[in-house]
A and B are shown apart, each in its own frame.
Chain A
Amino acid sequence: MTDNKIGSKAAPVLFENVSKVFGKNVVAVDNINLHVEAGKLVTLLGPSGCGKTTTLRMIAGLEMASSGKIMIGDRDVTKLPATDRDVSMVFQSYALFPHMSVLENVMYGLTFSGFAKDEARSRALHGLQLVGLKGFDNRLPSELSGGQQQRVAVARALVLEPQVLLFDEPLSNLDAKLRRQVREDIRAIQQDLGLTVVYVTHDQEEALAVSDEIVVMRNAAIAQMGTPRELYDAPNDRFVADFIGEANLLNCQIVSTDGDTATIEIEGYRQTLPRRGLTNGPATIAVRPSRLVIGSDDGIAATVAKATYVGVRMEYTLTGAFGQVFAVHDDVDAPLAPGTEITMGFAGKGPVLLPD
């Protein structure tokens, strides 16, 4: 038998000024430009209704772009229906065919790709082995657990060696513990085979964990694109700052600038941080809850309004002249009582100026 290890024909995906309008005036995707490099895992992240699933379905060919151009590899696929695109997709509901066995499900796409029956069978078995379901080939989908069904769906998409593999919220039907396991498996397979993957989720933690690059979408447009670290550490605006992880937004004054850095001041407390193109005057900073230092020597006066014990850490709501912030603290053994007066400072790389 031939060695039929599953290979990869990973190809880049390119969106040029793509829009999608449903009916007369419902704009689901508004003039986006997007480049997904070959062999990378890119996540489309955003709240529901932001257009991320529509974008994914336009890559699959299940929705047709109203205007603009879509390229997969060096081929213009804008007008091609799903059948004729070299793309496969893992659905949120898995969409396993209930009247076919696991093996028949995985072989389904192969039989349409011109493989002889033997070849299709051995490729399908190999695919099942790859997702750790060896020996399950004669079961019906209904005889598998949710996690196993999910892996069959992945195998069914993988064995076609698609140019692009699409995931539509693949973990949303799994319980919390299984999610971590499965997302690590998906990432491992993607990296081993060097696949181009586009992945839709609304869970920011999932996105941070699996992605090479994250595309945050809002109101049918792209809000920001970048590596997980870029998005987390340097969000472009309030929306991204708040959507990826939690962020406290505080008003401040930029009192001086020097090259790439700026010095800000809140209630007399000063800190120097990257300038991000801003000039002197009022501005907004975003600070992650974990980057607020409670009880620092120098800082802003605040009062503990609420203290919650959640096991691994303490969560505090602090109030002061600046408004209200949310902070976490690792010291669970000496919690602060509500009403305690404290000084609040920022960690060294903590706050970030929002250009917007």
Chain B
Amino acid sequence: MSMIISAVLAVIVFLIVPALIGMLANVFRKKKHFSMALFLVSGYGVLFAFFELLVLPFIYLKLPFTLMVWIYSVPVGLLSLFSLYLHRRVLLEKLRGLPAALKGLPWCAWLAAVLILFQAGTAAVRMHVDDDDAFYVATATTTVTTDTIFQYDAYTGLPYEELPSRYVLSPFPVWNAMMGTLTGLHPAIVAHTVMPAFYIPLSYAALWLLASWLFEKSKRNAWLLLFFAAVIQMFSFYSIYTGGTFLLVRIWQGKSFLANVLIPAILYFCIRAMNQRHPARTDWLLLFAMMAASCMVSSMGIMLAPVALGVMGIVMYLRHRKLQILGYGAACCAVNLVCAAVYILIR
């Protein structure tokens, strides 16, 4: 029974809450467009950005983990309920239209869905042992057990003499700990079983955004792109360094989330924000959220995400010759710059 409750809670916190927050984040768009992939990806961006900004003071002030969970969860929960209330009609309408929408899907959509579900299911059911979890998962378990954040060495359990500079600015393991607390599951189960089930499809949601931009007028072609992408990821084990390998064997680690969800999402929101004559403010804000989220998931994200944004910014500047692109782009990197400065100070 408790496992069923945990499973329901996992669906709520991993799927429904991010989608509702994403809907809320896109509520000010003038051109309304219902895209669950957009809502999910932007929801995660906003949730991770908020988490980054909230947790860092908790770490430095050595405040309890459970207090952080409350302070984070209550406003997020209330905002989700508000979003549910705000979008109740459109959600009901979409739910009613779901069978018809599914019937209208092209063959390649079903093939893509089967492959993605197979990949998520395999990662969730089967076991892959990765030594990096000695830090990532053990940090989550230590956080829950000691009710502290980054005060005890995950490897040994002994108190830290100084904060682990490489990881402390990217508290993704604390997110894992919080998900464990909210679902009543052990952090090892959250990381190794629950996260792959949700995050592998999420990475395809991010790719779907790029696909639907590339094939704006043909959903069928966008689905075909997604199908080919799923095949490519599956056959990317020619080296252990590829994004596909990281996606399919260890998506619960922040660096893999960065490579497979946030980098494609950053490219997409760069294009949305920079490639329009009158870009929506929402797109710039979501790009800012994605950049902050990249700091939250991995110390690599602090550095790599601005590189991606910078290159895309230059490409777009050369196309549109608008200094605003570079200015706003730089502003979106604010959290990354602060984290980089702090990292240099504490390392």
B and A form one assembly:
no
